[in-house]
A and B are shown apart, each in its own frame.
Chain A
Amino acid sequence: MKQCSNPITMELVKGIPTTVLWKIYMTMLKIRMVEEKIADLITRKEIICPCHLYIGQEAVATGVCTALENNDYVFSTHRSHGHYIAKGGSIKLMMAELYGRVTGCSRGRGGSMHITSPLVGLPGSSAIVAGTIPLAVGTALAFSIKKNGGVSVAFFGDGATDEGVFYESLNFAALKKLPIIFICENNLYSTHMHISARQLNGNIYKKAQIFKMPGIQIDGNNVLEVFQAASEAIEDARNGKGPTLLECMTYRWRGHVGPNWDIDKGLRSKEEVEWWVDNCPLKRLEEFLLKENILSESKKKQISKQVNEEIEEAIEFAKESPFPDKSEVLNDVFKS
């Protein structure tokens, strides 16, 4: 995976204000720390609902969402926490949802796979593989009809490109030049299956060509490369030049679901996991920012402390929140 160890260079920093670089660092750190915490809470059986952890993929959600405006929409998948946090969703409300509390972002009805934050442009996340890709095309269609300059993003994994609806969505978005970015997070696995067991031509970005759409493969673990590529694609979309498919090469450290590593089950090798852990997207950014004096040790500590406090507060909020009343089960089937 040569394309996933590109060094972060000063070239990539060009035009990005220091405050934005700090925000990028903080978002990635926040996703990492929240997910590590959730892994721990699952092990301690405090969280019951199935959680698909985003550890290792933080650079993708962070790079893309930092390049978006608040009113732009993103759609997420069963692996939803990173997108939610990067788009600005409240950790308190997410944690309460994971704890099954009525104060959760979906009132305890959705759990980890179905978190939402409409106010920051996350209409929802679906556990049906590829299920949200056409929905993101639909919001892009609405933006283009309304001419409000909005951009829509569909996040999905490599597994989603096994589904027919992925191709239908690309075709229609290209045909109508819709303002949408298709972000494929290629983490090489669809549950237990490596991409080589599923597709003969695993170069997902090349699938864009048949729809006359730009398709680019990038190092999804280099957050600034993701940010720059996403910024260009978003600008094109906003200016009526149509959609882009960005294939971000990355890796989920933990197994498909839950805190385990899926090494013991014979699904992937220890060496493979270790290679990716060594190429940690967060560590790469942090080392670069420190080396270039963009981030000082004291600023780093301050950010870490702030994130930690936010997470502890969120857990406390979740634990102190009530469970839904039993009558809640019948509510909200229809809007009255």
Chain B
Amino acid sequence: MRKLSYAQAINEGLKQMMREDKSVFLIGQGVTSPWYVGTTTVGLLDEFGDERVIDTPVSENGITGAAVGAALAGMRPIVTHPRMDFMYYAMDQIANHAANWYYMFGGKINVPLTIRGIINRGGEQAAQHSQALQAIFTHIPGLKVVMPSTPYDAKGLLISSVQDDNPVLYIDDRWLYELKGDVPEEIYTVPIGRGVVREAGKDVTILATSYMAYEATKAAARLKKEGIDAEVIDIRSLKPLDEALIFESVRKTGKLVIADAAWKTCGMAAEVSALVSENIFECLKAPIKRVCLPDTPAPASSVLEEVYFPKDKDIILAVKSII
């Protein structure tokens, strides 16, 4: 099959959705910039014009609110935040407005909105340019949250997000942009709410989100050489969460390591851990282990970044601690 990079897959997904549906438009900071959102929006302005590819002032709250409003009026906006860190400014419009609307008005009017939040860390960018805020958003009812880790899913989940009748937060990761993989040319979807087994195994389950799924696959390959047969689940959707897939795997292996490159306290790893303990406690043969960021802001100095961001070796250590 044809190979595309993760960034190219996003770009193709955006293009195809905009060609397919005139109500889809792109709005947000840097969508016409040569660097701000990587290469993910290259060529869109030329093809669709500035009425549908709208670069904006730095007004995250106002622009996100405008996207919510446009969705209420029947459009399918994709509002882009080049760094998740800047989304705090838009928190009110996302949490109080977009996520509550359908429920709060008795199911009368929905918000078909895609919010694209980009994680862009490393390179000594420090605490305000490095955050992975998936847990904060997953906490909010009424908002779906997806995190693709492969080029195939990057396109398929983007299309699902745009076609969904609800607000969906689509989180992509700059560390994955150069990753290449099979991507069909046609329009296809990856269902929101379904995880995937990346490697089948019987000794331990490694459940990972986003970039950590890539690290988990590397870890599993190294563990295999040492005779440890790890199953890797890329959960892909944080909300809704594919609980059935998680339980099925843990029932088989009895051991669980969760890798999520975000803060540990009250994070996704904590949520998955609680769900497993609550529902299939009797299947566990060892304590659940979490591979996360320490509960500190992101440091600048490369030396500190090196210990701050978890890698495959951290997953391996966690696995070995319960095998």
Using a CB–CB cutoff of 8 Å, the interface residues on chain A facing chain B are 48-50, 97, 100-102, 104, 106, 108-111, 113-114, 126-130, 159-160, 162-164, 190-193, 197-199, 265-267, 323-324, 326, 328-330, 333
Contact = CB atoms under 8 A, between A and B. Distances in A.
B313 to A, nearest CB: 14
A162 B59 contact: yes
Nearest to A114: B126
Interface in B291-314: 294-297, 299-304, 306-308
B294 A330 contact: yes
Contacts of B30: 191-192
A199 B29 CA distance: 14
Contacts of A323: 301, 303
8 contacts: A100-B304, A111-B126, A163-B61, A191-B29, A193-B55, A265-B35, A266-B34, A333-B297
Given A163-B89, A191-B33, A324 B124 contact: no
Interface size, B (range): 35 or more
B100 interface: no
B123 interface: yes
B129 interface: yes
Contacts of A104: 301
Contacts of B294: 329-330
Nearest to A257: B35
Nearest to A157: B58
B296 A329 contact: yes
A197 B318 CA distance: 51
A192 B37 CA distance: 12
Given A48-B124, A127-B129, A333-B296, A324 B301 contact: yes
B61 A164 contact: yes
A313 B304 CA distance: 25
A326 B307 contact: yes
A200 to B, nearest CB: 11
Nearest to B298: A109
B57 A113 contact: no
B175 interface: no
Nearest to A255: B35
Given A199-B57, A329-B308, A333-B297, 15 more contacts: A50-B129, A100-B300, A100-B301, A100-B303, A100-B304, A113-B126, A128-B86, A128-B128, A159-B57, A163-B59, A163-B60, A265-B34, A266-B34, A326-B303, A329-B294
Max count, chain B CB within 10 A of own CB: residue among A159, A160, A162, A323? A162
Contacts of B129: 50, 113, 127
What are the nearest 3 A-B pairs in CB distance? A111-B300, A162-B57, A100-B301
B86 to A, nearest CB: 7
B299 A329 contact: yes
A326 B297 CA distance: 15
Contacts of B32: 192
Given A108-B304, A109-B299, A329-B308, A192 B34 contact: yes
Contact of B124 (A102, A111, A163, A328): A111
Contact of A129 (B58, B300, B301): B58
B299 A108 contact: yes
B124 A114 contact: no
Nearest to B88: A128
